[in-house]
Structure 1
Amino acid sequence: MSLEWKTVELKSIANVTMGQSPKSEFYNDNFEGMPFLQGNKTFGDKYPSFELYTTSIKKVAEKNSVLMSVRAPVGDLNIAQEDICIGRGVCGLQMKKGDNEFLYYLLKANISHLINKESGTVFGSINKNDIETFEVTLPEDSEDQQKILTILKNIDKKIEVCKDLNINLLSIADAIFKKEFRNFDEYLEGDLISSDFGLIPKNWYYKTLDEISDVAIGKTPPRKETWWFSEKAGVKWVSIKDLGNSGTYIFETSEYLTEEAIDKFNVKLIPEDTVILSFKLTVGRLGITTDEMTTNEAIAHFKLDSESPISKEYLYLYLKNFNYDELGSTSSIAKAINSKIVKKIPILVPESNKLNEFKELFENIFNEIKSNQIEINNLTKLRDTLLPKLMSGEIDVSKINCDLE
């Protein structure tokens, strides 16, 4: 490591503000008051979204502050895009001299060491002293800090561009789907016929999911028998959380099942390019597999074959717009529909000429989304590989010619 790097306690370079939650009667979801962040639940990818606001402001993280969850779990990081009220599960950090985004990446590179400080038998947590006395190593030269920041920010900007592109592409596909396959206002009355679910165009009809696809449900081996699971090897095993963290296509999962587990518990293998749907706890999350995978028992998969009247893109958009509230009921514990109900979900099948008219367009849009997700994954791996090397001095940025503008 260069002699121009220094190891310091965090309190010497940053001010730390611990959150304090207002009373619950001052929470609201109607945009009154200041955005309120209780924990990492609404952190999002890099910038937080807000479900709650408060008119009783206790502690504030100023715009551009680094946000960090300090309990259950510890160490999730974010950046405030505006002044926000922070609750007891969050702290705000601001550089005394320098760029807060550099502090964000500095903490991101060292967060595993900070997590080791957490305590608590029920909820892991860290306190203000843990944070302030945490030691970090950084370059003394502010220009070197800025070079590191520029490299990492440029990668993250490219990732955000690809994510925004995919949001827009899916919105375009969704808008076309709604106009052509859900909204029949432009049809003449004589061109519509009655169905069990309202008026539909002539030559269109409803089929249940199990009539147009091979429907299967995933499975979870006994959790206490940890040897059936792996974080690195085996067959990818999709959870509802994985569906939430993925985009339209699923490339990565947090866990794998061993081949032995798949054989012993008869876990269904899902082919590539299969639409999958969560139907327990969080109902309605969707994804499309990118290789052979498995899922837990809260996720159903719909294998289409060459005889199916619809494409995977049509099925994805149809299920994305489906009202699942009509299928099940809500309890105090969780919202769910069972596998029998899933198999009987009614699918509107348009006449073939109408489907063929938009088949290639939908395929092209989804292929572009998939390509962008591959780019996101590659850039994310590049950033995560460079981050510790840049933040440890293994890569000497003083010899890199960066355009700091």
Structure 2
Amino acid sequence: MSLEWKTVELKSITNITMGQSPKSEFYNDSFEGMPFLQGNKTFGDKYPSFELYTTSTKKVAKESSVLMSVRAPVGDLNIAKEDICIGRGVCGIQMKEGNNEFLYYLLKANISHLINKESGTVFGSINKKDIETFEITLPKDFKDQMKILNILKNIDKKIEVCKDLNKNLEQLSQNLFRKWFIDFDLKNDFNMSEPFKESNLGEIPESWEIKTIGDLSDVKGRIGWRGYTTNDLVDEGPWVVGGKEITSGFIDFNSAKHLTREKYDESPEIMLRDKDLIIAKTGTIGPIAMYYEIYGEATLNPNVGLIRSKNIAPALLLTFFKTPRAQYYLNEFTTSSVQPAINQTTIKQLEVALPSDKQLLNKIGAKFEEINLLQFNLNEVTKKLQRLRDTLLPKLMSGEIDVSKINCDLIITSHYLSARFPVIQHLFIKSYNLTSRLSDTAINV
């Protein structure tokens, strides 16, 4: 028998608390009271960080409540991990009877319809009545709701594991860079130990040398008079990427645009090649990512620069640019306070100490290439899982996929996902092994 569904107004199955900011005397930044969440910041799928705490308990979203932004923007959703005082622009929604995690996915599947209710000429918003009277369809049987929840929850768990592994691999690469290129501790890993000498970067091993980014790579950007207008942006064609596409060390092509073939062909010097680095050089300075040829043809917009490695592993160069010293340098030498920017000449002058022994440099570079390949693969798995979840969500919440005929408990769901994405298990094992093998100072993942 297929699922039985019911359509109800949201107020009939939930308690809704609209946020209201407490008076200023109740705020503090010393972690007293409970965290305060204001609705003027997008929090989305990423759990919010709290800068302010409050001793006010006037408007509270209880632990496990669904948090929803109701003003500029409308529709961000999350689940409260603790009791939270909510300010204007946020509401807390809690099931009267049922599971709040299921409510989260239910709202996520229907959020576009709720957003359609927003009003306001400057800032879009929805009010409590909009939320209370919002009609929503869900399975009548609580067990069927849990079957749907288990499928979606397990996919999100695997997404989080992939993201956590990637963060830990990123930390691993930074730890190894610090060990080998700042502390110059290479004795155990590469059987290398030698006296030090003075340099303009401080003490470095005697056989090492100072190189600039200009020595190690070609640095290019879009030539000003070859800029483009919105008329050059099309629905299909080569990608054009900018700073906003650099997200967590990767290029997010979901927000990238396409450029006409004519405009793309006009600038062959910035046509991207496999393992080119893309660095933001206007606005927010310093975010950097690696481009891979599987993404297809791509070029740059004027806000980013291209760094093409000549005689050093691209992943090692990428890791160096992410270090605190490199990021400090990039932001220290910006040319404008209104619209911060750094030019290509300044990027080329950034210095780094490297071993003059090319064989040693290649061995070290290979370690960073291995970590980077794992990170890339994990990121691709994450995107596949996200697409799977986003495809299943509306189908499960509309009854298009009938879960009444299958046993969707956690174990079976996990087995299904492992079969669907066997590379996940392989990457988990490989990332653990890599961490323990590379260095005794590496962190656990």
TM-score by length of 2: 0.80
- Check 1:263–1:361 CA distance in 2 against 1; reply closer, same or farther (3 A cut): closer
Aligned-partner Cα distance in 1 for 2:23–2:365: 53
Question: Residue by residue, what CA displacement relative to the aligned partner does 1:79-128 show, whole Å, maximum 9, x if unpaired?
Answer: 11111122212211111111111111111111111111111111111111
SS where residue 233 of structure 1 aligns? strand
What is the RMSD computed on CA atoms of the aligned residues?
Answer: 3.0
- Check 1:261–1:72 CA distance in 2 against 1; reply closer, same or farther (3 A cut): farther
Tell me, yes or no, if structure 1 residue 378 matches structure 2 residue 384.
Answer: yes
- The residue aligned with 1:66 is 66
Alignment of 1:5-404 (within 5 A): 5-23=5-23, 27-39=27-39, 41=41, 43=43, 45-184=45-184, 191-218=195-222, 226-230=230-234, 233-244=236-247, 247-250=248-251, 252-260=253-261, 262-263=263-264, 266=267, 268-291=270-293, 292-305=297-310, 308=311, 310-323=312-325, 324-326=327-329, 327-328=332-333, 335-351=340-356, 352-403=358-409
- Check 1:50–1:279 CA distance in 2 against 1; reply closer, same or farther (3 A cut): farther
- Check 1:333–1:124 CA distance in 2 against 1; reply closer, same or farther (3 A cut): farther
SS where residue 103 of structure 1 aligns? helix
Aligned-partner Cα distance in 1 for 2:30–2:245: 30
Displacement of 1:302: 0.5
Identity of aligned residues (%): 55
Displacement of 1:371: 1.4
Q: Is 60-69 or 387-396 further displaced after alignment?
A: 60-69
- Check 1:103–1:159 CA distance in 2 against 1; reply closer, same or farther (3 A cut): same
Displacement of 1:283: 2.2
Q: Is the 8 A contact 1:250 1:290 kept in 2?
A: no
- Check 1:51–1:117 CA distance in 2 against 1; reply closer, same or farther (3 A cut): same
Q: Is 76-85 or 357-366 further displaced after alignment?
A: 357-366
Q: Is 183-192 or 94-103 further displaced after alignment?
A: 183-192
SS where residue 45 of structure 1 aligns? coil
Q: Is the 8 A contact 2:77 2:108 kept in 1?
A: yes
Q: Is the 8 A contact 2:154 2:410 kept in 1?
A: no
- Check 1:30–1:272 CA distance in 2 against 1; reply closer, same or farther (3 A cut): farther
Q: Is the 8 A contact 2:238 2:264 kept in 1?
A: no
Displacement of 1:264: 7.9
SS where residue 345 of structure 2 aligns? helix
TM-score by length of 1: 0.88
> 1:110 corresponds to which letter in structure 2?
N
Q: Is the 8 A contact 1:275 1:312 kept in 2?
A: yes
> 1:290 corresponds to which letter in structure 2?
Y
- Check 1:253–1:346 CA distance in 2 against 1; reply closer, same or farther (3 A cut): farther
Q: Is the 8 A contact 1:17 1:93 kept in 2?
A: yes
> 1:341 corresponds to which letter in structure 2?
T
Size of the aligned set, in residue pairs, is 398
SS where residue 281 of structure 1 aligns? coil
SS where residue 7 of structure 1 aligns? strand
Aligned-partner Cα distance in 1 for 2:112–2:230: 23
SS where residue 15 of structure 2 aligns? strand
> 2:219 corresponds to which letter in structure 1?
V
Q: Is the 8 A contact 2:233 2:260 kept in 1?
A: no
Aligned-partner Cα distance in 1 for 2:222–2:143: 52
- Check 1:3–1:263 CA distance in 2 against 1; reply closer, same or farther (3 A cut): closer
Question: Residue by residue, what CA displacement relative to the aligned partner does 1:325-372 show, whole Å, maximum 9, x if unpaired?
Answer: 342369875654344322322233333243233233222222111111
Displacement of 1:321: 0.6
Q: Is the 8 A contact 2:212 2:351 kept in 1?
A: yes
Displacement of 1:265: 6.8
Aligned-partner Cα distance in 2 for 1:325–1:3: 58
Q: Is 387-396 or 197-206 further displaced after alignment?
A: 197-206
- Check 1:149–1:259 CA distance in 2 against 1; reply closer, same or farther (3 A cut): same
- Check 1:219–1:290 CA distance in 2 against 1; reply closer, same or farther (3 A cut): farther
- Check 1:140–1:35 CA distance in 2 against 1; reply closer, same or farther (3 A cut): same
Q: Is the 8 A contact 1:228 1:260 kept in 2?
A: no
Q: Which has the higher helix share?
A: 2
Question: Residue by residue, what CA displacement relative to the aligned partner does 1:136-174 show, whole Å, maximum 9, x if unpaired?
Answer: 111111111111100000111111111111111221221
Aligned-partner Cα distance in 2 for 1:313–1:40: 37
Aligned-partner Cα distance in 2 for 1:257–1:357: 38
Aligned-partner Cα distance in 2 for 1:83–1:47: 14
Aligned-partner Cα distance in 2 for 1:248–1:329: 21
